[in-house]
């Protein structure tokens, strides 16, 4: 219970930052880290659910999150958020938050598709790219030449900034606020436990 509330606090702050800036500070994860530590302590004290299943769940989903982050498929904050969903002590924790997040994601992506933002790639001026954090760069177009940037989303933007080409255009695709989706999904999951399954919620670390 306490651990979930601490994780929810981190998700709330991270979701807000992700929507507003498309960037999440490492500091927002401090409450979640404390919550995770409390979960581990509860296992040590024998006051938490089955340790074996928890380790398998955390290793599987957390391992996927780490792998996707290292390969550059998702941002660092996205990987942390996915791993935190798996860190929740409830046995059904990955399923409910991820399903709720998927519903939110489909709704938002559908809206952005309708606006034309999420359809394939587009070209925007460098000034707009630097001002709006929602774009994932694919290439810099300057002087008629197209120079691709890294496919790793964790370094691609830094490469564009380092190019220092204010008159260039940037080929981009729309970057969705994944952390915000997961944050809303986790909040919905906590509300579900409190409203419909409070006995389970109160029994958790």
Per residue in 54-79, pLDDT tens? 888 889 998 999 999 998 888 899 99
d(CA 160, CA 146) in angstroms, rounded, equals 12
d(CA 151, CA 122) in angstroms, rounded, equals 16
For residues 101 and 185, membership in a common domain is answered with yes
Domain that holds residue 29: 2-114+176-203
Q: What sign does the dihedral 155-159-160-161 (CA atoms) show?
A: positive
For residues 74 and 155, membership in a common domain is answered with no
Query: What is the reported pTM?
Result: 0.87
What is the structure's pLDDT at 43?
Answer: 77
The count of domains in the chain is 2
d(CA 116, CA 68) in angstroms, rounded, equals 27
For residues 27 and 38, membership in a common domain is answered with yes
For residues 156 and 198, membership in a common domain is answered with no
What is the structure's pLDDT at 90?
Answer: 86
What is the structure's pLDDT at 205?
Answer: 74
What is the structure's pLDDT at 118?
Answer: 79
Ranges in the chain, pLDDT < 50 = none
For residues 77 and 12, membership in a common domain is answered with yes
């Amino acid at each position: 219970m306490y651990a979930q509330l601490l994780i929810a606090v981190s998700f709330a702050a991270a979701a807000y930052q992700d929507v507003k800036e498309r960037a999440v500070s490492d500091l927002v994860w401090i409450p979640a880290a404390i919550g995770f530590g409390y979960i581990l302590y509860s296992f040590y004290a024998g006051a938490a659910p089955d340790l074996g299943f928890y380790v398998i769940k955390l290793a599987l989903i957390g391992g996927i999150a780490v792998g996707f982050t290292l390969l550059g498929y998702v941002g660092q904050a996205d990987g942390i958020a996915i791993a935190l969903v798996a860190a929740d002590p409830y046995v059904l924790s990955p399923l409910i938050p991820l399903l709720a997040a998927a519903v939110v994601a489909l709704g938002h992506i559908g809206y952005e598709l309708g606006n034309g933002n999420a359809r394939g790639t587009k070209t925007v001026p460098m000034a707009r790219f630097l001002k709006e954090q929602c774009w994932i760069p694919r290439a810099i177009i300057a002087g008629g030449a197209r120079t691709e940037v890294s496919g790793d989303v964790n370094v691609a933007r830094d490469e564009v900034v380092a190019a220092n080409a204010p008159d260039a255009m940037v080929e981009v695709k729309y970057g969705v606020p994944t952390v915000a989706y997961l944050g809303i999904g986790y909040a919905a999951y906590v509300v579900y436990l409190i409203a419909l399954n409070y006995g389970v919620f109160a029994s958790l670390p």
